[in-house]
Amino acid sequence: MLLKRRKSDASGPPEPLPERWKMFGDEDPEIVLGGHSNAACYVIARDSGLGPRSVRAGIAYPADFGAVDDSYWDFLATAGAGRAIAVVWDGNQHNGAFLVQPDPPFRVYGCSSVATPEQEAGRWIPRAMVSSYWEPSFADLGRTLDRLVERSRVLVVGTPPPNPEAHVRERFEGKLDWDPWIRDIASTREQASSELPVSPESLRLALWSIIQEGMREQARRAGCTFVAVPDSVRDDAGLLAAPYSAGDLTHANAEYAGVMWAEIEAALSSGEER
Amino acid sequence: MTEHPYRSQPARAFWSRSVAKDFAAGAMTVGPEPLLRRGDRVASAGSCFASNMVPWLESSGLLYVRTEDPHPAFAHLPENLGYRSFSAAYGNVYTARHLRQLLERASGDFQPAEDRWHEDEGVIDPFRPGLRYRAGCDEEFDLLTRQHLRATLDAFNEATVLVFTLGLTEGWESTLDGAVYPACPGTVAGEFDPSRHRFHNFSAEEVRADLVEFIRRLRETNPGVRVILTVSPVPLVATATEQHVVVASSYSKAVLRVAAGETAASMPDVSYFPALEIVTGPQAPHDYLAEDRRSVTEAGITEVMQTLIAASDLPEHGAPPAEAQPVGDPERSPQMDLSRRIAEADCDEVLVES
């Protein structure tokens, strides 16, 4: 339990704070998983018996499933001391910045398997420039890892690929109008919320792959293991396969977390990058 | 007293009347037509000194042609020196051969044999070795390079005036096909290989021929373009010859000055602007060069630009802004705000639904 001093009586007995951070799962875990909102599905997966199967696991997460802050990482470092820690870091940057088609449009080459259709418009932006754009997030991850590795073996877990356009479009249709800010912007553009231009799948995939590369690089630099998202949760285009979507725009579900738990367990036992 | 040709010469033709007293830099620009005119679209290329003129031109009401600005979402990210200083992202173009080959590459008429270097950090463009954001693979390199060369061609073709500031005669070229690099391989990036790279000190005739060929090619697609040639007053930072750097600089500037003068004299709508003389001539104040006697001071740049503007017909005779204004604040991009808000709202909605 967290405690704080009363303002009016610094010498008096501490008053209890509501517990903001909670350890879900095993009381004596071999591995503690934690991170931003993409870590939530791991709580549900464990509660649903979808994983992990061979290790005792705890998930350090906000008790109210809300946002984390600096003190959360203190909690995770303490909870994971002497154990393995799996970090699920951010992973929504591509949606937060570029879910709606940028103006003017741009393209990013997918150096891996992701091809950009020739008919798509926009200038090419170097992948290295996009990576630099997200460098503050990567640097924060790096600093966090440097701290965690002092007392734990640390794994960095890949984050869900972007959803197919049809799924995003479905979310846009009528389900965003409850937000007056989005409604006003759409109105200013003389568009309905459902007509807001979604960035092409190829762009969102390329952006996602840059985020994965950035996390992999930070993991390598800090001496951590990177656990990549396997092809089994991706469709033929490389996007998040429908059975693994949480239904919203950005997150994956417990089935996805079950697959990832298996990847984490395998990495934990082999000691090799997945 | 007999008549002779000097009798009809103006005061500027006499040292005693135009230098020893009553010196005015504006008198050094001659010609019936203004160098720059209202409505001109100005593109530029050249050595680092050339980049100084851009804010002056823009504050004077001229349109400075830019065809390769950074995307607004990424404009706040830094780029290395020079690649955002000119009309397209070609960086510093020190030699006339480099300029000529740049246009040939952009036109698809020259494909250098050694057109990329592979290093751990990515694929490097030998003709833009200092670029901060390098391609990660050959395919990305091809896309980015094609895009850059298209932007370069657009800049050259959109301009009504192209200003080229000649910087160096000393250059490094490929032994395979004579492709000229802006910097010696191995200095900014890449590796120097004496079997593939060699030094070349261009002669006045070579520089003149390259300038003439560049202008001829440029006018094939942009027939009305006027060209202003200048020579950078900045001495060499180092020489690859056996000469003292001062002697090598003197030679280099003399060669460039001759080539620029002969080109201007031999081609229509090509002018020479005396930036070199304004900063380094015997009349120039000591403080036009900094203590290192190489860097041109603000006073020197101001004199050069005020002289250029005075020799032009421009809407305004402005001075450059005191500080470059930041552009492309990502926090102000409506699309990015919208993306962020949608992603957050949808998350919130899920929580509401749960």
| Token pair belonging to A158 | 């890949």
Confidence at residue A28, expressed as pLDDT on a 0 to 100 scale: 94
* From A99, A101, A247, residue closest to B343, measured CB to CB: A99
Q: Which residue has the tokens 């409850």?
A: A178
Residue B73 with chain A: CB contacts under 8 Å: 97-98, 102, 106, 133
Q: For chain B, what is the HEC assignment?
A: CCCCHHHHCCHHHCHHHHCCCCCCHHHHCCCCCCCCECCCEEEEEECHHHHHHHHHHHHCCCEECCCCCCCHHHCCCCCCCCCCCCCCCCCCCCCHHHHHHHHHHHCCCCCCCCCCEEECCEEECCCCCCCCCCECCHHHHHHHHHHHHHHHHHHHHHCCEEEEEECCCEEEEECCCCCEECCCCCCCCCCCCCCCEEEEECCHHHHHHHHHHHHHHHHHHCCCCEEEEEECCCCCCCCCCCCCHHHHHHHHHHHHHHHHHHHHHHCCCEEECCHHHHHHCCCCCHHHECCCCCCECHHHHHHHHHHHHHCCECCCCCCCCCCCCCCCCHHHCHHHHHHHHHHHHHHHHHHHHC
Percent over 90 (pLDDT), chain B: 80
* From A126, A133, A171, residue closest to B144, measured CB to CB: A126
* From A92, A128, A181, residue closest to B122, measured CB to CB: A128
Mean pLDDT of the B293-310 span: 94
Confidence at residue A115, expressed as pLDDT on a 0 to 100 scale: 60
Dist. CA B168–CA B181, nearest whole Å: 12
Residue B336 with chain A: CB contacts under 8 Å: 97-98, 100, 102
* From B71, B344, B350, residue closest to A125, measured CB to CB: B71
* From A133, A181, A249, residue closest to B77, measured CB to CB: A133
Range with lowest mean pLDDT among A11-25, A118-132, B30-44, B153-167 = A11-25
Residue A171, min C-alpha distance to chain B (Å): 8
A186-227 residue pLDDT tens: 777 777 777 888 899 999 999 999 999 999 999 999 999 999
Closest-approach residue (CA) in chain A for B347 = A248
Count the residues in chain B: 354
Cβ contact (<8 Å) for A106 and B73?
yes
Closest-approach residue (CA) in chain B for A135 = B77
B50-105 residue pLDDT tens: 888 888 888 888 899 999 999 999 999 999 878 898 999 999 999 999 999 999 99
Q: Is the pLDDT of residue A42 over 70?
A: yes
Q: Is the pLDDT of residue B40 over 70?
A: yes
Residue B44, min C-alpha distance to chain A (Å): 22
Q: Is the pLDDT of residue A9 over 70?
A: no
Percent over 70 (pLDDT), chain A: 85
Q: Which runs of consecutive H residues, i.e. helices, occur in A176-253?
A: 180-188, 201-222
Q: Which residue has the tokens 């009363």?
A: A6
Closest-approach residue (CA) in chain B for A100 = B339
Percent over 70 (pLDDT), chain B: 90
* From B71, B122, B340, residue closest to A123, measured CB to CB: B71
Query: Is-contact B203 B124, C-beta < 8 A?
Result: no
Residue B78, min C-alpha distance to chain A (Å): 9
With an 8 Å Cβ cutoff, the interface of chain B facing chain A consists of 71-74, 77, 122, 132-137, 139-140, 143-144, 147, 330, 333-347, 349-351
Interface test with A, best of B77, B145, B342 (most A CBs within 10 A): B342
Cβ contact (<8 Å) for B139 and A248?
no
Cβ contact (<8 Å) for A132 and B136?
no
SS3 A155: strand
Interface test with A, best of B335, B344, B350 (most A CBs within 10 A): B335
A44-83 residue pLDDT tens: 999 999 989 999 999 999 999 989 999 999 999 999 999 9
Q: How far is CA B27 from CA A55, B275, B308, B309, in A?
A: 86, 13, 11, 13
Closest-approach residue (CA) in chain A for B144 = A124
Cβ contact (<8 Å) for B335 and A130?
no
Confidence at residue B354, expressed as pLDDT on a 0 to 100 scale: 35
Range with lowest mean pLDDT among A18-22, A40-44, B182-186 = A18-22
Residue B144 with chain A: CB contacts under 8 Å: 124, 126
B206 or A17: whose pLDDT is higher?
B206
Q: Quote ipTM for the complex.
A: 0.87
Mean pLDDT of the B220-226 span: 98
Cβ contact (<8 Å) for A102 and B140?
no
Confidence at residue A112, expressed as pLDDT on a 0 to 100 scale: 56
Cβ contact (<8 Å) for A102 and B333?
yes
| Token pair belonging to B352 | 């509401």
A130-185 residue pLDDT tens: 999 999 999 999 999 999 999 999 999 999 999 999 988 888 776 666 666 677 76
Cβ contact (<8 Å) for B330 and A97?
yes
Count the residues in chain A: 274
A236-257 residue pLDDT tens: 999 999 999 998 888 999 999 9
With vertex at residue A188, the alpha carbon angle to CA A183 and CA A191, rounded to the nearest 5 degrees, is 70
With an 8 Å Cβ cutoff, the interface of chain A facing chain B consists of 37, 65, 92, 95-104, 106, 109, 111, 123-130, 132-133, 171-172, 175-176, 178-179, 181-182, 185, 196, 246-251
Residue B345, min C-alpha distance to chain A (Å): 7
Q: Which residue has the tokens 């037509």?
A: B33
Cβ contact (<8 Å) for B71 and A97?
no
Dist. CA B324–CA B261, nearest whole Å: 34
